[in-house]
A = this chain, B = another copy of it.
Amino acid sequence: MKNTNEYKGFFINDYSEGAHPEILKRLTKTNKQPEEGYGDDGFTRQAKEEIKRLLGKKHHSEVHLVSGGTQANLTTLGIMLKPYESVIAPETAHIAVHETGAIEAVGHKINTIPTEDGKITPHQILEVLEEHEDEHMVLPRVIYISNTTEVGTCYTKKELQELRAFADEQGMMIYLDGARIGSAMMTKSNDLTFEDLAALTDAFYIGGTKNGALLGEAIVLNNRELQQNFRYAVKQRGGLLAKGRILGIQFSTLFEGDLFFQLAAHANEMADILREGIHREGFSFLVETESNQLFPILPEPLIEQLEKKYLFYRWKRLGTHHTALRLVTSWATEKEQVQAFLEDLRG
């Protein structure tokens, strides 16, 4: 790409900048304070308490902080599955496509389900189960979903409850990839709380990297069986940072007040403005979303104009004349960038 200074706006992803200033400030302020290593420090303890508070008293969830999403996925799924068990996921799933076979590398097949909107239903999962009759095939055991999905859509509470009921019926577990759970929970239609996630999934993770942290994801284990000795798994896969404090400081900063939610709300608000503006100009979208990812379908000549000034992905070619873009906003997106983009869209 060109020197980033030459762009008027960045919609390419939600991890282009560093951390929210509040995090850097806290890192700097606490820097000289000696702490125990490997996540036994006071900051990590506080971070875990803040997150548990959100999960509600009913639940006895356990929280572990790791460096990234693939690390979270491979460590947790590696513990959830016996050698011959598999995970069912939408074909767009990050674990199925964009983690370089990390789940297979810890020994497990992913059974994928075709999907347009990135979501999967009990009915679709049942079809997969029915095909898996005996020991000549893997035994599907975990349902993997993400919220927001890879295409920016979100699950409703009802959908998640239906998945939970189905999973219980089938003796399956649910794992939710929350790389963008912040944005999901701050969409206008969202009716899911962290308490719901604790009640309705066996495990999920709260994405820090894409919502203002330098790095870090918080794995939440709700199923007690998964909690046993989980630190061993984190250590074995290379996820236990010696200076665990760096994760503790970030997550305690994000969750001691409502910074985590504010940052996601800002990203969504920027996306809303973009969405409305693009709509107003008469363009349609590949998928309808309310979160910080948008997939507008634009004509080629216009895209070429925009590419000179803004950074974004071309997501999917549609015929000869149109392409669906992916625009992503974040805590760091400035209103000026959004307005400039819309102005240039109007031409």
Residues of A within 8 A of B (CB): 1, 4, 7, 10, 13, 15-19, 21, 24, 27-28, 30-38, 67-71, 73-75, 78-79, 82-84, 86, 97-102, 104-110, 135-139, 209-210, 214-215, 229, 231-243, 245-246, 311, 332
Contacts and interface: CB of A to CB of B under 8 A. Distances in A.
A32 B15 contact: no
Contacts of A231: 135
Contacts of A240: 68, 70, 135
A70 B83 CA distance: 16
Given A215-B242, A235-B70, A236-B84, A136 B17 contact: no
A135 B235 contact: yes
Contact of A233 (B7, B74, B83): B83
B241 A67 contact: yes
20 contacts: A13-B37, A16-B36, A17-B31, A17-B32, A18-B31, A24-B24, A34-B332, A67-B238, A68-B242, A69-B242, A70-B240, A101-B107, A101-B108, A104-B107, A105-B107, A109-B110, A135-B240, A237-B237, A238-B238, A238-B239
What DSSP secondary structure best describes chain A's contact surface? loop
Given A82-B79, A209-B243, A32 B13 contact: no
A109 B96 CA distance: 9
A224 B231 CA distance: 27
Contacts of A236: 70, 83-84, 99-102, 105, 138
Nearest to A34: B16
A28 B24 CA distance: 6
A27 B24 contact: yes
Given A4-B34, A232-B84, A100 B246 contact: no
A97 B230 CA distance: 18
